[in-house]
Amino acid sequence: MSEVSLVEDIVELINVYPNPSKDRFFIRLNESFEIIQPFRVDIYDAQGRSVIDLQVSEKNFEVDLSVQPNGLYFLKTSIRGKKMNVKLLKY
Name the domain count of the chain.
1
What is the per-residue pLDDT for 75? 97
What is the per-residue pLDDT for 79? 79
CATH number assigned to the domain comprising residue 72:
2.60.40.1930
83 against 32, higher pLDDT: 83
The whole-number average pLDDT for the span 30-54 is 92
4 against 64, higher pLDDT: 64
49-77: per-residue pLDDT in tens?
Answer: 999 999 999 999 999 999 999 999 999 99
User: Which DSSP category does 69 fall into?
Assistant: P
Distance, in Å, from the CA atom of 79 to the CA atom of 36, rounded to the nearest integer, reads: 9
Instruction: Give the structural domain span for 47.
Output: 3-90
What is the per-residue pLDDT for 11? 54
Tell me the CA distances in angstroms from 69 to 3, 16, 40, 79, 90, one per residue in order. Answer: 31, 19, 23, 28, 8
The whole-number average pLDDT for the span 14-24 is 96
